[in-house]
Amino acid sequence: MMHNLRAISLLFQMRADFIDAQVYGSGHINDTYCALYDQAGCRVRYIHQRINHHVFRNPVQVMENVARVTRHVLDTLLAKGDPEAHRRSLTCIPALDGKPYAIDSEGNFWRTYLFIEGARGYDEIECNEQAFQAAKAFGEFQNLTANIKGGRLHETIPNFHHTSKRLEALEAAIRNDLAGRASTVLAEIAFARARAADCSRITDLIASGVIPERVTHNDTKLNNVLLDETTAEGICVIDLDTTMPGSALYDFGDMVRTAAPTTREDNPDVAQVGVNLNRFDALVRGYLSTATFLNEAELANLAFSGKLITLECGIRFLTDHLDGDTYFKIKRPGHNLDRCRNQFAFVRSLEANMAAMEEIVARASLVPA
């Protein structure tokens, strides 16, 4: 559905005249539009987004987090004298009442950002250099937010990466067996149960204080980093809806899960699933070049984090398959089961290559940032 973007534009302090807007990007959660404006005779672009309040049940808290993080990142870059500070950070345009969001006549929540010119996102990684640049940008994002003021951010999705609770949800789905599928996935259930100890490893380290809680992005796919169209450098981290308290390892683990497999995550041919060690090496080098704040325990678990987040995602796909495919969108019968088996196959490959991956981390850790 195409919203009335001219009316939406009047809810914000645009200081420009609306010309036109088009659907933009490949996101599946929020409705995103690129809008063209005339600003004192110059053509400029902005991003308008309708926040999906069915996924993000408290959009006010989401936007309070986004506003705090973007303001802090921009202030930090300006204090460093970065000549491209406004290009390297998202800039929220305030609504007429000064808030970082506006509510339309139908109760939808909207936000507006400056459009970052000369940069683009990629839905799929085309080379190891892109992986390096994306990981470098995510590490820098964590670095820039490490000393954010004002107390703890809102936890907009509670227990988002609490893998043990994801396993508990799987056990509930097995007991309920709403779709009558439990008897057909006994091997997958056994696989998840056999790794119960892995599920609590990071949360236990956080609870004991060995690993600190940090500000984390929690959705570190390549398409959430804009790369410069000329230099291919990572310019700006975007899609901050899930930015909240967590472990830095969650972000790196999700980079591994999404960037290091040898095939797409729903390929039903698990024989094609493996880990691209050269890609993993690029991720490690890029990330550690900017994530200079990591402590010894975080470094010691960096390679493991990819296994954890992949296992967690596989558990979630299996849970949804048992529940009757109510959360993740599917394109064919058994799609979530294919995804689950694919993720579990990647876990096996990560386990088989763990020693090599830990050696890559150890080698990169010795290189001065």
DSSP string, 157-222: STTTT-HHHHHHHHHHHHHH-TTS-GGG-HHHHHHHHTTHHHHTHHHHHHHTTSS--EEE-S---G
Interval 156-169 mean pLDDT: 94
More confident residue, 190 or 31: 190
Q: Name every residue whose Cβ is closer than 8 Å to that of residue 352 and which is 6 or more positions away in sequence.
A: none
pLDDT tens column, 9-37: 999 999 999 999 999 987 667 899 999 99
Interval 78-86 mean pLDDT: 96
pLDDT tens column, 128-140: 999 999 999 999 9
Answer yes or no: are the C-beta atoms of 207 and 102 closer than 8 Å. Answer: no
Q: Is the dihedral of CA 81, 83, 88, 93 positive or negative?
A: positive
3 state DSSP class of 111: strand
CATH 3.90.1200.10 residue ranges of the chain are 128-365
Interval 34-57 mean pLDDT: 94
What are 256's two structure tokens?
A: 């591994």
Provide the β-strand partners of residue 35.
21, 46
Which pLDDT score is estimated for 368? 64
What are 136's two structure tokens?
A: 């470098």
List the CATH code of the domain at 5-117. 3.30.200.20
Interval 55-73 mean pLDDT: 95
128-365: CATH superfamily: Aminoglycoside phosphotransferase (APH), C-terminal lobe (3.90.1200.10)
Which pLDDT score is estimated for 344? 98
CATH 3.30.200.20 residue ranges of the chain are 5-117
Interval 227-235 mean pLDDT: 96
The predicted model scores a pTM of 0.93
Answer yes or no: are the C-beta atoms of 278 and 357 closer than 8 Å. Answer: no
User: In this structure, what DSSP letter does residue 25 have?
Assistant: S
Which pLDDT score is estimated for 26? 72
Measured distance CA(113)–CA(326) in Å, rounded:
32
Mean pLDDT of the chain: 95
Measured distance CA(308)–CA(279) in Å, rounded:
18
H/E element, 314: helix 302-323
Q: Is the dihedral of CA 341, 345, 347, 351 positive or negative?
A: positive
CA atoms within 13 Å, Cβ hemisphere of 21: 22
Does position 336 have pLDDT exceeding 60, yes or no? yes
Which pLDDT score is estimated for 54? 81
Does position 162 have pLDDT exceeding 70, yes or no? yes
Does position 367 have pLDDT exceeding 80, yes or no? no
Closest CA to 321 of 181, 194, 125: 181
Share of residues in the chain with pLDDT > 90 (%): 89
Q: Is the dihedral of CA 259, 263, 268, 271 positive or negative?
A: negative
Lowest-confidence range among 47-61, 200-214, 310-324?
47-61
Answer yes or no: are the C-beta atoms of 168 and 320 closer than 8 Å. Answer: no
Under the banding of pLDDT at 50, 70 and 90, the label for residue 106 is very high
Answer yes or no: are the C-beta atoms of 24 and 47 closer than 8 Å. Answer: yes
